Amino acid sequence: MAQEPELTDEIIAGRRADAGGLPADMPGWMAGTITAVDTASLWIGRAVSWLTIPLILVMLYEVFARYLFTAPTVWAYDISRMLYGAMFVLGAGYALSKGVHIRSDFLYRNWSVRTQGRVDATLYLVFYFPSLLVFLWVSSGWAWVSLSRGERGIDTAWMPLLGPIKSCLPIGVAFLLVQGVSELLKALYAARKGRWPQS
């Protein structure tokens, strides 16, 4: 009798279990592109993860100031929100490279590797790249207007400049677009060869 697989985080939101290293029969340009993009995403992810430290320090300072000295800050909420937002958008390409973006795995994992590759490649070409290109264009406009006008937040008394955080959005979208190239190449290889490459 077949045993039901245990639903763990690795199954629900993880990289494909059968993925190995880059295969020897992969064209050099494809392997080089995948390696370069995945390596860049890894280093970007590592760099962005350091934003966790100032985020923790800001929150600790606010908690101590508020509850020990009854002296809440006017800036901690804004700083924490901006740091978290920057981590979220700048780390999205890294998250995609690790396969932790949400997908309907309850259907997808039962398909053959060739079918998975075909579906992934089609969705990247038809939806992913066109929508992210539009998002890049729109978010770049938002960032430019915010920077050029010196836009300030109006929902708190501190009123921080919003240009720097709004600039993170087009940068994060650009990281996602670049990582999408690697994912598309992996999907095309899987659709053709029936196995997933992974750098």
d(CA 135, CA 133): 5
pLDDT digits (tens, 9 = 90+) for 40-62: 999 999 999 999 999 999 999 99
Percent of the chain, pLDDT > 70?
A: 88
What average pLDDT does this structure show over 111-121? 94
How far is 93 from 75, CA to CA, in rounded Å? 29
Q: What is the pLDDT of residues 124-156, one digit of tens each?
A: 999 999 999 999 999 999 999 999 999 999 888
Q: What is the residue extent of each domain of the chain?
A: 27-193
pLDDT for position 3: 56
